[in-house]
A and B are shown apart, each in its own frame.
Chain A
Amino acid sequence: ELKVEQNPLFLSMQEGKNYTIYCNYSTTSDRLYWYRQDPGKSLESLFVLLSNGAVKQEGRLMASLDTKARLSTLHITAAVHDLSATYFCAVRGITSGTYKYIFGTGTRLKVLA
């Protein structure tokens, strides 16, 4: 069974600091995704990681994927208040020929001014 774990679940950090969110998954997956969700809003796609060693960056966020370790990281550089949101990772698995997306529990990030 494909399971996804994120940590930490909650993260409070000062502006200007760096931090990393971790996403571990239990079985082989061919895709990994990061989403952002603002309170009361839907999910916004941030990154799609397709292969081992993939690294993508957008502004202060950088995501990477290690398929051998079944680990993805979302690194935050010099955090700003606008990054406060909940971040989800998700993996795509194939079960009986159909695709299934399993989401992590989310990391609620609060950046303090």
Chain B
Amino acid sequence: GAGVSQSPSNKVTEKGKDVELRCDPISGHTALYWYRQSLGQGLEFLIYFQGNSAPDKSGLPSDRFSAERTGGSVSTLTIQRTQQEDSAVYLCASSLTSGTAGEQFFGPGTRLTVL
């Protein structure tokens, strides 16, 4: 079946602009995660959705970052007033939840460059 998809694959924006990143998880996966990966670094957790609710927003680096998930499926990560330090690859992952192995399946990522 189809895997996790993300769009756009690349986004170049100017400092101060808002951007929206989209994630389409695997059908039936109720858990959805956003991560950020800076060049040559590990994964930084941003936010976790279970269904449409976000029980863990602890990783969002500032109030410029927000995310929502509708219909228990597609999620959008919004970054307002982008800064150069926001430049990174944003990865989305989905998984089944309790009672399963909890294996995460990752999308291809969105590479964000803030000029």
Contact = CB atoms under 8 A, between A and B. Distances in A.
A and B from one complex = yes
Contact of B42 (A92, A96, A106): A106
B14 to A, nearest CB: 24
Which range contains the number of B residues in contact with the other chain?
20 to 34
A41 B107 CA distance: 9
Which range contains the number of A residues in contact with the other chain?
20 to 34
Contact of B48 (A44, A100, A104): A100
A62 interface: no
Interface string A67-103: 0000000000000000000001010100111111111
A105 interface: yes
B103 A99 contact: no
Main DSSP-derived SS at the A contact region: strand
Nearest to A106: B42
B109 A42 contact: yes
A33 B48 contact: no
B105 A98 contact: no
Contact of B56 (A90, A100, A106): A100
A99 B91 contact: no
Given A33-B103, A41-B108, A98-B48, A103 B42 contact: yes
Interface string B35-55: 100000111010010100001
* 6 shortest interchain CB distances as A-B pairs: A103-B43, A98-B55, A43-B106, A105-B42, A42-B106, A48-B101
Interface of B: 31, 33, 35, 41-43, 45, 48, 50, 55-56, 91, 93, 97, 101-109
